[in-house]
């Protein structure tokens, strides 16, 4: 098959049989079954019986009853107290004498509202004063009676939380795993075309995350509000009784409203822009070549619209164990630019193209630790913003685009953005025979403050951990990270490079703490190096530094806080041209 052949052209058949899905996903299916069992069980044995009893009891006939014994039973648990009203009573129906003990539709301990407490105390008063009460008798079975036939909406709502929460999650997991097609494709071996084994990559048309994001947000909002709404109603009830602290429970309702707003916004985005798939060119994306393609967006063309594009190679991995096991992403390589836009039959056509250097990791199957390539396209627009991500196949084919020519990194907006970032990070002045540079304290303060807080958190954890060894480890890690970030937050750096050589002086709050001098003949070359990374959601920013290498000794940092490799390379080029010290 030629480069770019799809699995359909190869005559392969996609796998999607039920048994194949069960074999592939049985572990997750087993995870969903208990949740579904709890929800369905609560519905069948907790909610429906009460609704059926309530409906049938509407036909039961009222009679006068005498309570002979009544007690409000109390059960104390580890963190709650529950109540259950009990009573023995007698009544007559159609000339026959009967005895009963059923008090209400629900006959169990609980503390949902004050129903059980109020009913129990009322029956205790009736028993002690020998006052008559009303019982409701089943005319088809007079030996069956109840003293209170009210439907407890609070109790039904409480149980429906379990039905919706557990049942919805469990049934949703099972339905998705049984109905969603497998990503793997039968009939295609990996060979030298590994991208053909993935359904999502079976053609050059790559779907975005837009629909999945919309569905996820709606499910999360429904999940949260299934808990928040009954909780909020109960808090309002408690507040009306004088418990002012119950108002804090309304925060759950506010968060739920925020999630619903988020879900509506994601729906508006989907309805406004449509699927907007990425048509890869070349297919697949090429290490040692190019990654690019075009997107047709249902949006009236406007030359002022700016679509920022980011191509990332990421390493996804797990850390921790048990409940603390979490998946993380580390940015291996990243490039940023802007899509070139033009008028199209669908509205706006976005053209994206990046050059990719050799030696980077290829796309890998999902496992505990693997590499993936992600393309993000975002634009701030009136109304709903455009924000889509695409996981793209990228392999070491060395291919270049056939129908695209303009690089996203060379877009005029990309040049302007890099110049602004460079000006904010590089304060450079020419002097006779060289340059001076100044890097003030408190630059990139947010990332460093977050590092300080992270270190303080680890120190606090180490202080409160009982285990002596682990506590010391946590405290040591926190101290190193926190103090290191605090040091770089509070220090400034002066740099001078001229015919005499290199001179740097680092100051802490204005006081010199470190001075370095390197003779000119000892300088060999300048080179950039990765400094640190920050992440917000799926957005990664890697910061670089520029170092001066010498014949002997460690490299000397002469510039830092450059956001992105492209900005760092531009800073490196500027410093090299102005000083005459060659690049690596």
- 3-state SS of 268-287 is HHHHHHCCCCEEECCCCEEC
Report the alpha-carbon distance of residue 497 to residue 437 in Å, rounded.
Answer: 9
Integer CA distances (angstroms), 356 to 287, 313, 514, in order: 5, 10, 39
Quote the tokens at residue 270: 């989907």
pLDDT score recorded for residue 5: 43
* Phi, psi of 73, deg, nearest 5: -80, 145
Q: Collapsing DSSP states into helix, strand and coil, what is residue 438?
A: strand
Separation of alpha carbons 233 and 115, rounded Å: 15
User: Among positive and negative, which fits the CA dihedral 498, 503, 504, 510?
Assistant: negative
Which residue in this structure is represented by tokens 């290490």? Answer: 287
Task: Tell me how many degrees the CA angle 511-514-517 measures, rounded to the nearest 5.
Answer: 130
DSSP assignment of 540-575 equals EEEEEEEEEEESSS--EEEEEEEESHHHHHHHHHHH
Closest by CA position to 416, among listed 303, 356, 336, 533? 336
Contact indicator for 503, 517 with CB cutoff of 8 Å: yes
| Cβ atoms of 315 and 533 closer than 8 Å | no
In the block, tokens 């996203």 appear at 408
> In terms of DSSP bridges, do strands 145-146 and 132-137 run parallel, antiparallel, or are they unpaired?
antiparallel
Which tokens belong to 164? 């919706």
> pLDDT (tens digit, 0 to 9) for every residue of the chain, 584 residues total?
344 444 444 334 444 466 666 666 666 677 778 888 888 888 898 889 999 999 999 999 999 999 999 999 999 877 778 999 999 999 999 989 999 999 999 888 988 878 899 999 999 999 999 999 999 999 999 999 999 999 888 788 778 878 877 787 788 777 777 766 655 655 555 566 888 877 788 889 999 888 888 888 888 888 788 777 777 777 776 677 666 666 777 788 888 888 899 889 888 888 888 889 999 999 999 999 999 999 999 899 999 999 999 999 999 988 777 666 788 888 899 999 999 999 998 889 999 999 999 999 999 988 889 999 999 999 998 888 899 999 999 999 999 999 999 999 999 999 998 888 888 888 889 998 899 999 888 877 777 788 888 888 888 877 776 566 777 777 888 888 888 888 888 888 999 999 999 999 999 988 988 899 999 999 999 999 988 777 766 677 888 999 999 998 899 999 888 888 888 999 999 999 999 999 98
Q: Helix axis angle, 250-273 relative to 210-240, nearest 10°?
A: 160
Q: How far apart are CA 333 and CA 343, in angstroms?
A: 32
User: CB–CB of 113/159 below 8 Å?
Assistant: no
Q: Which of 101, 108, 105, 103 is nearest to 84 (CA)?
A: 108
Dist CA 185 CA 15 (whole Å)? 5
Residue 180 pLDDT: 65
CA 429/CA 329 separation, integer angstroms: 38
Eight-class DSSP state of 110: B
How much is the pLDDT for 14? Answer: 41
pLDDT at 225: 82
How many Cα atoms occupy the beta-carbon half-sphere of 538 within 13 Å? 20
Angstrom distance (rounded) from CA 314 to CA 539: 11
Nearest CA-CA partner of 66 in 152, 145, 150: 145
Query: Count of alpha carbons within 13 Å of 494, Cβ hemisphere only?
Result: 11
For residue 383, what pLDDT is reported?
81
Place of tokens 């030996």: 143
Tokens at 111, concatenated: 């503390």
Give the sign of the dihedral formed by CA 280, CA 285, CA 289, CA 290.
positive
Give the predicted TM-score (pTM) of the model: 0.66
Is there a contact between 564 and 336 (Cβ–Cβ < 8 Å)?
yes
pLDDT of residue 12: 40
Q: Mind listing the domains of the chain with CATH numbers?
A: 59-148 (no CATH), 278-410 (2.60.40.640), 422-579 (no CATH)
By CB atoms closer than 10 A (0-12, 13-18, 19+), residue 131 is exposed
CA 495 to chain centre: 42
The pair of three-digit structure tokens given for residue 257, joined into one six-digit string: 């409203």
3 state SS of 204: coil
Distance between alpha carbon 352 and the CA centroid of its chain, in Å? Answer: 26
What whole-number distance in Å separates Cα of residue 174 and Cα of residue 35?
Answer: 10
Residues 6+ apart with CB under 8 A from 532: 447, 542, 543
Question: Tell me, what's the pLDDT at 322?
Answer: 66
Torsions phi, psi of 572, nearest 5?
Answer: -60, -45
Phi and psi at residue 55, to the nearest 5°: -65, -45
- Cβ–Cβ contacts within 10 Å for residue 315, how many? 15
Looking up tokens 């630059």, which residue turns up?
443
CA angle at 327 for the pair 368 and 544, rounded to the nearest 5°: 105
């Amino acid at each position: 098959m030629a480069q770019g052949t799809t699995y359909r052209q190869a005559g392969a058949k996609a796998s999607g049989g039920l048994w194949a899905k069960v074999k592939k996903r049985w572990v997750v299916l087993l995870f969903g079954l208990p949740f579904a069992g709890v929800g369905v069980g609560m519905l069948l044995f907790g909610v429906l019986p009460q609704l059926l009893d309530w409906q049938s009891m509407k036909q039961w006939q009222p009679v006068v009853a005498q309570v002979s014994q009544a007690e409000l039973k109390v059960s104390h648990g580890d963190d709650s107290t529950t109540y259950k009203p009990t009573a023995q009573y007698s009544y007559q129906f159609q000339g026959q004498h009967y005895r009963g003990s059923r008090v209400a539709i629900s006959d169990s301990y609980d503390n949902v509202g004050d129903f059980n407490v109020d009913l129990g105390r009322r029956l205790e008063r009736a028993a002690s004063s020998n006052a008559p009460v009303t019982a409701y008798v089943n005319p088809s079975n007079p030996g069956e009676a109840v003293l209170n036939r009210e439907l407890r909406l609070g109790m039904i709502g409480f149980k429906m939380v379990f039905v919706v929460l557990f049942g919805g999650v469990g049934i949703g997991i099972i339905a998705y795993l049984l109905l969603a097609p497998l990503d793997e494709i039968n009939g295609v071996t990996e060979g030298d075309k590994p991208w053909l084994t993935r359904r999502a990559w079976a053609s050059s048309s790559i779907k975005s995350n837009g629909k999945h994001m919309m569905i996820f947000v709606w499910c999360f909002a429904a999940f949260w509000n299934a808990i928040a709404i009954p909780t909020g109603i109960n808090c309002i009830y408690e507040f009306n009784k004088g418990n002012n602290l119950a108002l804090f429970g309304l925060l759950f309702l506010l968060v739920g409203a925020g999630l619903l707003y988020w879900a509506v916004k994601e729906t508006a985005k989907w309805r406004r822009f449509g699927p907007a798939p990425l048509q890869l060119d070349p297919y697949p994306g090429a290490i040692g070549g190019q990654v690019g393609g075009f997107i047709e967006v249902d949006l009236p063309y406007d030359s002022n619209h700016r679509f920022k594009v980011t191509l990332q190679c990421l390493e996804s991995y797990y850390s921790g164990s048990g409940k603390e096991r979490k998946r993380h992403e580390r940015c291996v390589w990243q490039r940023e630019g802007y899509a070139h836009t033009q008028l199209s039959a669908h509205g706006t056509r976005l053209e994206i193209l990046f050059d990719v250097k050799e030696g980077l990791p290829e796309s890998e199957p999902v496992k505990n630790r693997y590499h993936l390539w992600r393309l993000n396209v975002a634009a701030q627009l009136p109304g709903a913003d455009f924000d889509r991500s695409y996981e793209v196949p990228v392999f070491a084919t060395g291919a270049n685009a056939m129908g695209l020519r303009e690089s996203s990194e060379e877009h005029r907006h990309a040049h302007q953005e890099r110049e602004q970032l460079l000006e904010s990070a590089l304060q450079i002045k020419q002097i006779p025979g060289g340059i001076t540079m100044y890097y003030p304290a408190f630059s990139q303060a947010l990332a460093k403050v977050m590092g300080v807080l992270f270190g303080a958190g680890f120190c606090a954890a180490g202080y409160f951990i009982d285990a002596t060894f682990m506590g010391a480890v946590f405290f040591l890690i926190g101290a190193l990270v926190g103090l290191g970030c605090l040091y770089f937050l509070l220090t400034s750096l002066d740099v001078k490079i001229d015919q005499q050589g290199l001179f740097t002086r680092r100051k802490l709050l204005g006081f010199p703490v470190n001075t370095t001098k390197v003779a000119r003949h000892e300088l060999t070359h300048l080179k950039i190096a990765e400094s640190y990374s920050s992440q917000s959601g799926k957005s990664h920013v890697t910061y670089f530094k520029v170092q001066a290498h010498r014949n002997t000794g460690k490299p000397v940092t002469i510039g830092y806080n450059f956001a992105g490799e492209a900005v760092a390379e531009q800073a490196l080029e500027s410093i090299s041209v102005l000083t005459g010290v060659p690049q690596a």
